[in-house]
DNA sequence: AGCAAGATCGGT
DNA sequence: CCGATCTTGCTG
């Protein structure tokens, strides 16, 4: 996922709901969560019904509710039994993971969807202009301790901040 | 069954 | 800085 995550900003999240026009948003900000060692990653707590899909082969969606209010949109990126995921933190027009899922109507029903085979939601690489991707520390994970808190695993388009 | 905590956000 | 709001996972 440290191979996948930096390449996501600049690509297009596409949603094609029946009866609605195709919608596409450029991904502007993501964060990588990698493996059971990463104390910021939910999988560090073990394999549970919620984190199950993270242990699958990459390409599926990991969705969960945070603070009882906001749905978080993640893409599983690891091989089987190697739990890794990328949190989509922002797209053009929606800055922030909570606002993003609210704006795109992402909820529990997207859990486990395979981006490769789904005709509802997928990631598309359009013309890649000269997009500069910057990196920084992940947000909202102070509980993970200094080592993991300070990893430069957030990647974002230089424009959108 | 009860409880503590959370990859956020918007308002004081 | 603080509360909203509810699912999850752990304890008993």
Task: From first to last of the 161 residues of chain A, give the pLDDT tens digit.
Answer: 667 999 999 999 999 999 999 999 999 999 999 999 999 999 999 999 999 999 999 999 999 999 999 999 999 999 999 999 999 999 999 999 999 999 999 999 999 999 999 999 999 999 766 789 999 999 999 999 999 999 999 999 997 55
Q: Which two tokens stand for residue A39?
A: 């104390």
A62: domain range? 5-160
Does nucleic acid strand B have an atom less than 7 angstroms from the CB of A65? yes
**Domain count along chain A:** 1
Q: Which nucleotide is nearest to A65 (CA to C1')?
A: C7
The answer to whether A122 and A18 have CB atoms below 8 angstroms apart is no
Q: What is the pTM of this model?
A: 0.95
pLDDT for residue A52:
98
**Distance of A49 CA from C9 C1′ (whole Å):** 10
- C-beta within 7 A of nucleic chain C, residues 8-37 of A: none
pLDDT for residue A3:
78
Does nucleic acid strand C have an atom less than 7 angstroms from the CB of A66? no
Q: Look up the CATH number of the domain holding residue A28.
A: 3.10.300.10
Does nucleic acid strand C have an atom less than 7 angstroms from the CB of A70? no
The answer to whether A32 and A58 have CB atoms below 8 angstroms apart is no
Instruction: Provide the b/e sequence for A60-80 (b: ≥16 CB within 10 Å).
Output: bbbbeeeeeebbbbbbbbbee
**Distance of A141 CA from B6 C1′ (whole Å):** 10
């Amino acid at each position: 996922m440290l191979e996948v995550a930096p390449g996501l900003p600049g690509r297009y999240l596409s949603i094609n709901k029946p009866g609605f026009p195709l919608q596409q948003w450029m991904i502007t900000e993501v964060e990588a969560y990698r493996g059971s060692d990463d104390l910021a990653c939910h999988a560090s707590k073990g394999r549970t019904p919620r984190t199950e899909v993270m242990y699958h082969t990459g390409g599926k969606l990991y969705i969960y509710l945070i603070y009882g209010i906001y749905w978080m949109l993640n893409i599983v990126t690891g091989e089987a039994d190697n739990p890794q995921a990328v949190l989509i933190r922002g797209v053009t027009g929606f800055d922030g993971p909570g606002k993003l899922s609210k704006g795109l109507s992402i909820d529990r029903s997207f859990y486990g969807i395979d981006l490769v085979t789904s005709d509802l939601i997928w990631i598309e690489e359009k013309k890649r202009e000269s997009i500069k991707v910057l990196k920084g520390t992940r947000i909202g994970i102070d509980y993970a301790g200094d080592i993991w808190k300070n990893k430069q695993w957030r990647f974002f388009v230089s424009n959108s901040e």
